[in-house]
Structure formats: C-alpha cells, structure tokens
C-alpha cells in the first residue's frame, strides 16, 4: 500500500462498526496520513509523563474527550489535533472512519477518523505531548517490531500485542486502544498486521 489514493479507495468500501450504546466518556482521535519517501506514514504522539495519568508516556493518535462545545467525536478529534500538535485538519482530506473501540476497564468509547495531508507541516507539541512523530506502514508489518507484553492496569495483569514504532528499544510501544485502531485500519485497507506466534491460551 504505497499511496493515499489506494487507501482512500479501500476505505470507501469499508463499513465501520459504530457503537450504538451509551457510555460515560466519549472521545475522538485522528489517524493522519501522508505520503513520504515512497511509503505512507501515520502520525503518532507520545503522551507527556504525568504521575497520575494511567496512560502517561503512551503512544497514541492525537485526540481526546468530546467536550460540550463539540458537535461529536470527529469535531473533538480535529480540535484536539490542533491543540496537541498545532496541525489544522480543516483543509485536510477526510478519508473515512474506523470501527469504534470500547474501553475494557471503564465506560469509554473512542472513535477514529482518517485524514490525509500533504508535505511536512511544522508540528508543535503542547504540554500534553512529549513527542510527535511519523511512522511508515511498513513498520506495522515487521515481525521484528512485534512482541507480547504484560501490562498492569487497575491491579490486573494482561498480556497484549505491541508494536515498537520508535527505534530506541527502551521507548514505549504501541498497545491497547491505539493498537486496536491500527489493526482495524490495516485490515480495512487490505494490508493486515501479520499474526504473531501467540502463546497457548492467548487470543487476539
């Protein structure tokens, strides 16, 4: 998958699952694409380190909770992307939507919206963001970057799939809700993440 046009065509025939239920917290994120050096890249943030934040330092798409002034999760994704990395998605091309993802440990629904931009606009992280970077789609299919890891959340240990996006092996890895969105996206465009050698008893 080497062009935005190919991805747009695939997403046009994709029907995302939209959760009809009621949740306590609703959020929207933006999956922002660009063509760069013969590949397609996705934009990610690494959250700033905060002691009281359960997702402190995690890798994610830009976005956040739906505020009362937002018309919905897509508006929240656009507003938060501007606030977090100074990227205005107003003139960007909206390519589609991914299936909603529900939180496992709390009542939250996150919706993801796919956009395409051109070039290399300046990105300025705000206080919520520790780092902003682009990652090529080829990284998501590289078995050397995949690993099952144990995570502890609310006192419970869960083994989950991860992808290392940054070159520093000590850096945080992609996991959780953002991993689910990436898995949905790669399947929707016909470029799925390869299966890992799952341990017995673990499931995808």
3: Cβ–Cβ under 8 A, 6 or more apart, which residues? 35, 40
Would you state the pLDDT for residue 202? 41
Give pLDDT tens digits for 5-16: 999 999 999 999
Give the architecture (CATH level 2) of 4-188. Alpha-Beta Complex (3.90)
- Specify the pLDDT at position 77: 98
Categorise residue 184: left if φ over 0, alpha if ψ from -120 to 50, beta otherwise: alpha
Question: In the chain, which residues have pLDDT < 50?
Answer: 198-204
């Amino acid at each position: 998958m080497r062009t935005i046009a190919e991805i747009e065509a695939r997403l046009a025939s994709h029907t995302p699952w939209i959760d009809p239920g009621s949740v306590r917290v609703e959020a929207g994120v933006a999956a922002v694409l660009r063509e760069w050096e013969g590949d397609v890249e996705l934009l990610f943030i690494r959250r700033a380190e905060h002691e009281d934040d359960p997702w402190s330092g995690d890798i994610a798409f830009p976005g956040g909770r739906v505020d009362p002034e937002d018309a919905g999760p897509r508006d929240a994704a656009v507003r938060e992307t501007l606030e977090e990395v100074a990227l205005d998605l107003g003139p960007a091309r909206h390519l589609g939507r991914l299936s909603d993802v529900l939180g496992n440990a709390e009542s939250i629904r996150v919706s993801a919206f796919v956009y395409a931009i051109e070039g290399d606009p300046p990105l300025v992280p705000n206080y919520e963001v520790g780092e902003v970077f682009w990652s090529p789609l080829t990284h998501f299919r590289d078995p050397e970057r995949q690993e099952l890891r144990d995570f502890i959340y609310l006192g419970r240990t869960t083994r989950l799939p991860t992808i290392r996006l940054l070159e520093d092996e000590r850096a945080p890895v992609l996991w959780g809700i953002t991993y689910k969105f990436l898995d949905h996206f790669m399947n929707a465009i016909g470029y799925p993440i390869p299966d890992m050698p799952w341990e017995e008893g673990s499931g995808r």
